[in-house]
Structure 1
Amino acid sequence: MDISATQTDDLIACPNCDVLYRIKAPARGERARCGRCHEVLITPRLGAEGRIIALALAVLILTIGALSFPFLTIRAAGVSHSASIFSAAAAFSGGPFFLLSFAVLCLIVLVPVGRVLLLLYVFVPLARGRGVGPLTKQAFTLAERMRPWSMAEIFAIGCAVALVKVADLAEIAFGPAFWMFALLTLLVVAQDSLICRWTIWDALDKEAEA
């Protein structure tokens, strides 16, 4: 049986178990959850756009700052060496590992920054009550697809775990960039928790029809 686009506009699928529900928007402060797996489906928040923009700007500033300062310093046998984000990515740049180096740089810098810029492009017009741009829906779709590949916080956590294992071999001091990445991790989690995808798509559809 064919299902028309009009019929599917009233449906929402659980991202975890794929159960379909007819949309009934909850009131502000309430949540709509999946009856099978209890995944949150809709969670509208008043003024979320402004907070998302503030967090996105903070993430962007912290990312730029993290690229400008040492990530860590290692001291052993009287020798000290400081490493930055770029030097960590460039560690694999020789020979056949060039692609690995490029992938690391993309996943910890380019993808997170690109996603933040896309979110700003989407949310700034919504927060100001202005008409959205012609590519806003495509920008939000791309930002959502980039989310699993934005791994700046994974890089910071992985480095912390690895450095704990070599702490007995050398003296290790975390630089400003590490703490920026640690704070960035918390801000990204807070930012994503504020984004209600259904609410955003509903707002974009209404702006497009206006």
Structure 2
Amino acid sequence: MMEHQDRRNAASGLRTTQLTADALVQQGGQDGPALSMPYAEICEIRLNVEMAGPSSQVVCRVSDRAGHELAFSSMSWVRPGAYELKADTFRALLIDLHRALDPWRSEIRFVEGPKLGFMIALFTVGTLTASICLAGFAWLFFWQENGAGLFFLPGVIAGAWLIRLFWPRPPKPYDPDRYALAKPLQPSGEASSTEG
């Protein structure tokens, strides 16, 4: 049975995610509780790109009808600012999960992107930041005729960047066949030996 291990951050323990004959199972730590999510109860698969130290990782969030969520990612936390790449087992688990869910495909939402609430929250932070800094710039630079108002411009730019980056938009559906029909990765030694 294929399994994938990852650790989200310093506070979370090592999690092992695996597929059984009828469920997606995630065990938290060696003796931690196991959460089992039957395939028939899964209602959403969400793929999203999130930060992992200085780089980014793909995170798969699986939700069921009861509101439970399992998440596994393509990188694993090692120490502050350092993540280990786990793309090989992540991809294999993702492919096998999409294949296992094929009988329930019509009942499951397959989407890409962050949740709308998250985007609205950061859009609001960007709007407030840009508005406050723009008001401070205008008040100091134009009304007080003080060059210190220029110190507010980086805040205006940062706020505008957040507004642009997190403009609220609905999640984008994706075709589950992209993963269900994908071929597993071959180790580099096998690929070269089959060519000759």
Please report the TM-score for the alignment, with normalisation by the length of structure 1.
0.26
Q: Relative contact order, CA 8 A, sep 6+: which one is greater?
A: 1
- Higher-helix-fraction structure: 1
From the CA coordinates, give the structure whose radius of gyration is larger.
2
- Higher-strand-fraction structure: 2
